[in-house]
Structure 1
Amino acid sequence: MATTSHKTTTKPAGRGPAAKEKRVGNPKPVDWRPIVLEALSRVPVVREACQAAGITRMTLWRARKDDPDFNKAVEDAMEDGIDCAEQEAFRRAVTGYEEPVVHKGELAWLYEPVLDEKGAIQRDEKGDVIVRPVRGPDGKLVPLTIRKHSDQLLSLILRGRRKQVYAERIEQTGAGGGPIEIDATKRAARVAALMAAAAQRKAAAGDHGE
């Protein structure tokens, strides 16, 4: 009696028509606005903020134009950045800053005396103090510095904040230190000349606009 053999074939998993392909969708776009605001609050320069966010100045300009709330946030962030700049200017003007000392074209390093076990300063045979270079926590040599202050920055700060006291004043006087005398005829001629110049500029602007 003849027997019939049946062959069973199996399809690889995931190859059939019912198998669903796993697709990766488009990545979610990055919101660059917080990056711009954070950058402007540190450095109030539009170009650097745009570079940090990977956008163009035109993109930022359009976003500010279309969104008043975002435009206000940009202005506030820039004010924060300017405040930081003023704080640094005040520090350099009043508190001062450390400037490295350069001697004969080379950076000078900070030295300290060598102490013995009892904390006494050690000296050599000639009686000179034995010193060694100072190293920081990272093991690097510490440069010698001097504290400096910026009188120019201090002057700008005072003139900006106390204009009524520190602003420069220019006083003009007439002959012998008296008041300046203005001839009525000359003053009228001067006013007429200014009005004529303004009329010419207005006419020129109208010609360009046509």
Structure 2
Amino acid sequence: MEKHIKVLLLEDTPLDAELIERQLVKGGLDFELLVVNSKSKFERALNDFAADIILSDHSLPNFDSHDALEMIRNSGVIVPFILITSTMTDEFAVKVMQEGAHDYIIKDRLLRLPSAVKNLIEKFRLAKEQREERYRSSEDMKYLNHRLLLATKSADIGVWDWNLLTRDLVWDDSMYRMYQIEAGEFPSLYDGWVMRLHPDDRAIIG
């Protein structure tokens, strides 16, 4: 069963809006359609309608797809955008895609509109899941780092990392505190640490 989707259509010609709606129905989509025909209504719909996808004509009175894309960028809304227009030159297609459109369809070729809508919504759904997974991974890492910090402080131990190729040595703050030195007092190299050891300890590590 297809997921119910919310479609925001920016179109000022009722007949074109009807043709677009009819094509979506023929494509088997389960959808709620909101048609707006002005900048103010489009802005309100961006905030209140929570569209899954935006379909837009290019030219409306005192408002066009360039303005619509700019409003979307400024709003912070992440939503797929399909431009539906009567004509399209290669130069205009490149420009509108650079501005943030994800696809474009000529009005007399609406047959592929349903599949374009389905594909973009699925693409954005997967991208959202990936963003959420990265966020969860980032939060998990922050939590683990916090737990490690608490553990090292409680045990009064330090954490260090040694690059075997460059011989660079990286210490955390606890290491500097335990050795009672400032970060800039010796070169961050393994050899610099060795020179800080007692002679008997140097013999042990070779």
Shared fold, TM over 0.5:
no
Band the TM-score falls in, shorter-chain normalisation: under 0.3
The structure where strand makes up a greater share of residues is 2
The higher radius of gyration belongs to 1
Q: What is the TM-score normalised by the length of structure 1? A: 0.22
Q: What is the TM-score normalised by the length of structure 2? A: 0.22
